[in-house]
Amino acid sequence: MSTPEVGDLRTGERAETTEETADVAVVGAGLAGLVAARDLDRAGLRPVVLEARDRVGGRTWNRPVPGGTVEAGGQFIGPTQERLAALADELGVATFATYHEGRTRVDVTGGGLAFKGARRVLAELERMAAEVPPDAPWTADRAAEWDARTFHGWLAGAGEPDASGVLRMLTTAVFAAEPAELSLLHVLAYIRSAGSVDLLTEVAGGAQERRFAGGSHELSVRLAARLGARNLRLGAPVRRVRQGPDGVEVAADGVTVRARRAIVAVPPAIGDRIEHDPPLPGGRAQLHQRMPPGSTIKVSCLYETPFWRDEGLNGGLLRDRGPITVTFDNSPPGGDRGVLVAFAQGDDARRLARLPAGARRAAVLDVLGHHFGERAARPSGYLETDWTEEPWTRGCFGGNFGPGGWTRYGPLLREPSGLVHWAGAETSAVWMNYMEGAVRSGERAAAEVAAALTRP
């Protein structure tokens, strides 16, 4: 298989529609779709991947900014994220430790006592999460009860009112959604899916522990290069999937692919855009209505140097009010340039989005200046990525179930619809909504299809 330059893959729109045949049509060139394509190829099946955007990577994305490139989407890798680590090894993408030496800035009402209260609540959540089977949260003994209330409602009864600010901060940092929007069962399933609260929230020892040299986006870029231009079409949003007795016809802008099966690897919340013939079953269609992603604005600020390190700061900030609640030192390895990444999440992101650009920037830099000094308020480069504004994503980090969702629609997450299989980070029982989950979902969907098509 040839390995063209990535630039060659940018095919853009076409006036004419070409027809192609493949063994499997894969919808979406995020990590899930690209990993599925890799595994299909290994199984001797030819995939064709159709991607709406003019780039690969989905919710991972290297964006240029004066002075360099910043990671605008998912970027971390941590312990137990084994399939993601294996993928990076395989592709020769190195990882390095997230800079975490020195003090984290903390600005939380109640200080240490608030954290102590939060820890007690989180320990209780972990005990409950242990009762949730990760591959079938709807079968937990208390699933109906936990799915009938919001996380907010449960927190209100948890007996630690002073910890509410910290717990809200952690919730929005993990889900990009507010406790009021989430089913308690979703929070428990999520903890179980990751393994523990610490694995979700920590830098050292948690999901934020390491980063990818060149950015996580590099994984998708290399997968795409290996896949080859012949098997990947960019700028080709899929509009319709037709199923016949022996195969599928997947119609995208500019190209129609006839294949034996399809794998749809896009977030459930945008799944309704694809017309299916025959129509999808009602339950599957309603699942697509019930996993809204949260709201995030990720802001990258560039500096000549990571000057905060000289002052004993690690660049991290934990804050229990908006617009910015969490920051990290996101400098490239070596530290010859400084990058702070700041997150507005949940309601903070929604409020920030309503401000004009100048006021948004001022509000963000005000927080950074306050906690990291005047220099932090004068970055040489500044880039916001509001994932709700991205037409092919419309929210981050991933789809969340509100109350009632898991017990009614959870069983349908991975259930194929005829010749159509489902992938994407939301469908993973392990590290759901993380890059690890995306990789696992692609591997799982490819294995389903390979088993069906190579059966003796």
Residues β-bridged to residue 384: 299
Tokens describing residue 435: 């890059």
CB atoms within 10 A of CB 145: 12
Mention every residue, 6+ apart, whose C-beta is less than 8 A from residue 93. Answer: 212, 213, 214, 218, 219, 222
Is there a binding annotation on residue 238?
yes
Q: How far is the CB of 345 from its own copies (least distance, A)?
A: 13
CB nearer to its own copies: pick between 60 and 150? 150
Write down the least CB distance from residue 190 to its own copies, Å: 17
Question: Is residue 197 marked as binding?
Answer: no
Q: How far is CA 227 from CA 356, 360, 450, in A?
A: 42, 40, 17
The tokens for 351 are: 């409020």
Q: Is 152 or 375 the residue whose CB approaches its own copies more closely?
A: 152
32, 270 in Cβ contact below 8 A? no
**Among 53, 222, 233, 290, which residue sits at the site for its own copies (rule: CB under 8 A)?**
290
285 binds its own copies (CB under 8 A): yes
Tell me the CA distances in angstroms from 347 to 108, 294, 297, 396, one per residue in order.
18, 9, 11, 13
Q: Is 149 in the site for its own copies (CB under 8 A)?
A: yes
Using DSSP's 3-state secondary structure scheme, residue 438 falls into helix
Contact with its own copies (CB under 8 A) among 23, 39, 41, 147: 147
In the complex, least distance from residue 127 CB atom to its own copies, rounded to whole angstroms: 21
149-157, 159-167, 326-334, 421-429 -> range binding its own copies (CB under 8 A): 149-157
Does residue 348 bind its own copies (CB under 8 A)? no
Binding flag, residue 256, its own copies (CB under 8 A): no
Q: Does 355 bind its own copies (CB under 8 A)?
A: no
Q: Judge whether 52 is annotated as a binding position.
A: yes
**CB of 73: closest distance to its own copies in angstroms?**
15
To the nearest whole angstrom, how small is the minimum distance from the Cβ of residue 144 to its own copies?
8
In this structure, the number of other CB atoms found within 10 A of the CB of residue 297 comes to: 25
Instruction: Find, among 175, 132, 133, the residue nearest to 151 by Cα.
Output: 175
**CB-CB contact of 447 with 204 (8 Å):** no
* Residue from 414, 422, 395 nearest 271 by CA: 422
At residue 456, the 3 state secondary structure works out as coil
- Please give the distance of CA 199 from its chain centroid, rounded to a whole number: 16
Taking a C-beta distance cutoff of 8 angstroms, is the pair 291, 400 a contact? Answer: yes
272/366 with CB nearer its own copies: 272
Considering only 23, 41, 71, 178, the residue that binds its own copies (CB under 8 A) is 178
Q: Are 56 and 220 in contact (CB under 8 A)?
A: yes
Instruction: Tell me which residues in 399-428 interact with its own copies (CB under 8 A).
Output: 402-405, 408
Cα torsion for 446, 447, 450, 452, to the nearest 10°?
-110
Total residues at interface with its own copies (CB under 8 A): 45
- Asked if residue 282 binds its own copies (CB under 8 A), the reply is yes
Which one of 78, 179, 306, 379 is in contact with its own copies (CB under 8 A)?
179
Instruction: For residue 386, state whether it binds its own copies (rule: CB under 8 A).
Output: yes
Which residue numbers belong to the known binding site?
A: 51-52, 238, 343, 426
Which residue numbers belong to the known binding site for FAD?
A: 51-52, 238, 426
Q: Tell me which residues touch its own copies (CB under 8 A).
A: 144, 147-150, 152-153, 156, 177-181, 239, 269-270, 272-273, 275, 279, 281-283, 285-286, 289-290, 292-293, 295, 347, 350, 353-354, 386, 388-389, 391, 394-395, 402-405, 408
